[in-house]
Amino acid sequence: MSAIFKREFRSYFTSPLGYVYLAIFLFFEGMYFSALFGYGMPNVEVIFGSVSTVVVIVTPVLTMRLLSEDRRQKVDQALLTAPVSVTGIVMGKMLAAFAVYALAFAPTFLFQLIVTFLASVNWLVYLNALLGALLIGAALISIGMFISSLTESPIISCILTLISFLLLLVLPNLASLTGVSWIQAAAQKIAFISLFASFSESVFHIVDVIYLLSVAAVFVFLSVRAVEKRRWA
């Protein structure tokens, strides 16, 4: 697993992909921070809620190649015939994408440090927002990885992932069109991207944490099954 993690993580930075991903986040986080700074607000956690749309739009790029590219280039033969379990392979890849995603939030840590010197801040609020962002990221990356396991083409994988993320984003709005209250309530729960906002408003529900972890676990499991299934086809 660690071998695959190392390779995948490094591969993000042997192409421009990883740098571009991080640069986009640095740009938006920096922009929001300078705005906050201008208003004299010491609430770095607000940034997390604001970048949620950026997460939805650019994260598919991170997951599109995870399981599709290997299959296209037939490198999966090296991985699957090596003495490693499929779960190990899938987890290694997922964690590599997750590590890049986590790095994207590193600037906020710097911002928080700067603010700490200038005003009194509550670190717990910041850490809660960071935890929320990481958990949502884990769930999104697992979904993206699962989609990439279904196709050999990174482009198709990217587009399908983007569509599903956008659907997750607008699900509550779509549900409100139906006018049925229980559908609206269910959509509100399923659309976990909205949790970005609630985590950054210093709401901590253990239920949300468990929910996000479960989504991540389910899609990691499905990815493993998808890879296994191809062997049995």
Partner 1 sequence: MIEVSSLSKRYGNHLAVDNVSFSIQKGEVVGFLGPNGAGKSTIMNIMTGYLSLTAGSVSIDGFDVVEQPEEAKKRIGYLPELPPLYTDMTVREYLYFMCDLKKVRFPKKPHVEEIVKLVKIENVFDRLIKNLSKGYRQRVGIAQALIGNPDLLILDEPTVGLDPKQIIEIRNLIARLGKNHTVILSSHILSEIQEVCERIIIINKGKIIADDTPDNLSKNLSKDHSLALRVMGTEAELQKILASVPGIKALTSLGVKEKGSVDFIIEPKPGFDIRAAVSERLAERKKTLLSLHSNEMTLEQIFLRLTEAADNGTLYFEEKAELADMPKISFDLDMGVATLEEETSAEENNEEE
Q: Is 206 in the site for partner 1 (CB under 8 A)?
A: no
Give the binding range for partner 1 (CB under 8 A) out of 2-10, 33-41, 103-111, 166-174: 2-10
Instruction: Number of residues interacting with partner 1: please give it, by CB under 8 A.
Output: 24
Q: Is 207 in the site for partner 1 (CB under 8 A)?
A: no
Contact map string, positions 57 to 96, toward partner 1, x by CB under 8 A: ----------------xxxxxxxxxxxxx-----------
Evaluate whether 66 touches 94 at the Cβ level (below 8 Å): yes
Q: Which is nearer to partner 1, 6 or 205 (CB)?
A: 6
- Minimum distance, C-beta of residue 76 to partner 1, in the bound complex (Å): 7
Q: Is 17 in the site for partner 1 (CB under 8 A)?
A: no
Contact map string, positions 21 to 60, toward partner 1, x by CB under 8 A: ----------------------------------------
Q: Is 182 in the site for partner 1 (CB under 8 A)?
A: no
Q: Is 99 in the site for partner 1 (CB under 8 A)?
A: no
Q: Which is nearer to partner 1, 65 or 105 (CB)?
A: 65
Long-range CB contacts (< 8 A, 24+ apart) of 114-119? 115/42, 115/44, 118/42, 119/42
Phi, psi of 44 (to 5 degrees): -60, -30
First to last CA, the chain: 25
- Minimum distance, C-beta of residue 87 to partner 1, in the bound complex (Å): 12
Residues of 174-202 as b/e, b for ≥16 C-beta within 10 angstroms?
Answer: ebeeeeeeeebeebeebbbbbbbbbbbbe
- Cβ-Cβ contacts under 8 Å for 36 (sequence gap 6 or more): 42, 43, 44, 46, 47
- Minimum distance, C-beta of residue 220 to partner 1, in the bound complex (Å): 20
Q: Is 173 in the site for partner 1 (CB under 8 A)?
A: no
CA distance 52 to 20: 17
Q: Which is nearer to partner 1, 117 or 232 (CB)?
A: 232
Q: Where are the alpha helices (DSSP H) in the chain?
A: 2-14, 16-39, 46-50, 52-63, 68-72, 76-80, 86-103, 106-118, 123-148, 154-178, 181-190, 195-200, 206-232
Q: Which residues bind partner 1 (CB under 8 A)?
A: 2-4, 6-7, 11, 14-15, 73-85, 231-233
